[in-house]
């Protein structure tokens, strides 16, 4: 029996882990890559499923990421129905208070790894009918978020890449979509809980909420035009307001939320 296959980056914890478990429950062949070997081993032990393939990989290393994709393709016979670019890191605070090296790491993981992952996976996506790419974006890509400046900018990049590739890759029969959650209760938020925006909007989503939306995007009809998928009512309202209200109102709103 041929199973649909999905490769998830940053799959050892948080949203990535929930996405991997979701597709395992749906009967898919799941590739899970992450730099945390111990967490991957725990995932394998917990799931105890022959359809789960894991490999330790630092996605900021482009060569290592391409090698992991090749290895998973060897395991699946070259079938790649879905690539989920989930791996990401967060940096918060006044722009000048964060070390440039931290921003470099954020850009390497949040932007470059998405670009490199799409590039390395394309040959396999092209030969899999109905293939898709789903990128983890953020509500902070609707309007630049004070206190989250470079993180927000990285998600703007993901948004732009998603929109461009969804248009470009239609000639290959590949859909590209983005998931837009607000704050999600994962370990990535640890140490950032004091940010005013986070406190005022609250953390109302869990990893499973995001995984369910990823699942819906993966199953939607190919002709369905939706590129951006919001998670939860609060997220949908926030993104719609920020995208369609006049810029001067958005500026006032984000400054008020962030205390800037």
Q: pLDDT tens across 94-145, in order?
A: 999 999 999 999 999 999 999 999 999 999 999 999 999 999 999 999 999 9
**Domain locations along the chain:** 5-258
Mean pLDDT of 24-35: 97
Mean pLDDT of 44-51: 94
Locate the DSSP E strands across 129-248. Answer: 132-136, 175-180, 228-230
At 1, the pLDDT band (50, 70, 90 cuts) reads low
3-state secondary structure of 37: helix
Query: How would you label 7-41 residue by residue, b for 16+ Cβ within 10 Å and e otherwise?
Result: bbbbbbbbbbbbbbbbbbeeebbbbbbbbeeebbe
When computed from its CA atoms, the radius of gyration of the chain, rounded to whole angstroms, is 18
CA torsion through residues 170, 175, 180, 186, sign: negative
pLDDT of residue 31: 98
Q: Side by side, which strands form the sheet with 52-56?
A: 52-56, 29-34, 5-9, 82-85, 132-136, 175-180, 228-230
Burial (Cβ within 10 Å: 0-12, 13-18, ≥19) of residue 91: buried
221: tokens are 């009809």
pLDDT of residue 201: 83
CATH (residue range 5-258): 3.40.50.720
Would you say residue 78 has pLDDT above 80?
Answer: yes
Report the chain's mean pLDDT, rounded to a whole number.
94
What whole-number distance in Å separates Cα of residue 113 and Cα of residue 84? 12
DSSP secondary structure code for residue 223 in this structure: T
Q: Exactly one of 103, 143, 151, 260 is catalytic; which is it? A: 151
pLDDT of residue 66: 98
Q: Which element (helix H / strand E) includes 85?
A: strand 82-85
Output phi, psi for 245, to 5 deg.
Answer: -75, 160
Question: Does the active-site annotation cover 151?
Answer: yes
Q: 187-242, pLDDT tens digit by residue?
A: 999 888 778 888 888 888 999 999 999 999 999 999 999 999 999 888 788 777 77
User: Which residues lie closer than 8 Å to 140 by C-beta, 6 or more apart?
Assistant: 148, 151, 152, 155
Would you say residue 85 has pLDDT above 90?
Answer: yes
219: tokens are 């199953």
Residue 59: CA count within 13 A, CB half-sphere: 31
Q: 137-180, pLDDT tens digit by residue?
A: 999 999 999 999 999 999 999 999 999 999 999 999 999 999 99
Q: What is the pTM (predicted TM-score) of this model?
A: 0.94
């Amino acid at each position: 029996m041929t199973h649909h296959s999905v490769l998830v980056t940053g799959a050892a914890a948080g949203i990535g882990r929930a996405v991997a478990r979701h597709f395992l429950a749906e009967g898919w062949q799941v590739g899970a890559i992450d730099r945390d070997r111990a967490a991957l081993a725990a995932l394998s032990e917990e799931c105890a499923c022959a359809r789960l393939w894991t490999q330790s990989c630092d996605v900021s290393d482009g060569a290592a990421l391409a090698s992991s994709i090749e290895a998973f393709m060897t395991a699946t016979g070259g079938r790649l129905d879905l690539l989920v670019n989930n791996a990401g890191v967060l940096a918060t605070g006044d722009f000048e208070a964060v070390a440039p090296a931290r921003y470099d790491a954020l850009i390497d993981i949040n932007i470059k790894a998405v670009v490199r992952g799409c590039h390395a996976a394309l040959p396999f996506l092209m030969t899999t009918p109905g293939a898709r790419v789903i990128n983890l974006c953020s509500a902070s890509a609707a309007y630049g978020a004070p206190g989250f400046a470079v993180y927000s900018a990285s998600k703007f990049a993901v948004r732009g890449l998603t929109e461009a590739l969804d248009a470009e890759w239609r000639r290959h029969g590949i859909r590209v979509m983005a998931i837009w959650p607000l704050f999600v209760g994962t370990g990535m938020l640890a140490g950032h809980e004091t940010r005013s925006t986070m406190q005022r909007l609250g953390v109302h989503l869990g990893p499973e909420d995001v995984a369910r939306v990823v699942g819906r995007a993966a199953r939607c009809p190919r002709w369905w035009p939706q590129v951006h998928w919001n998670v939860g009512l609060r997220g949908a309202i926030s993104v719609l307001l920020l995208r369609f209200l006049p810029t001067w109102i958005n500026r006032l709103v984000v400054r008020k939320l962030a205390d800037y």
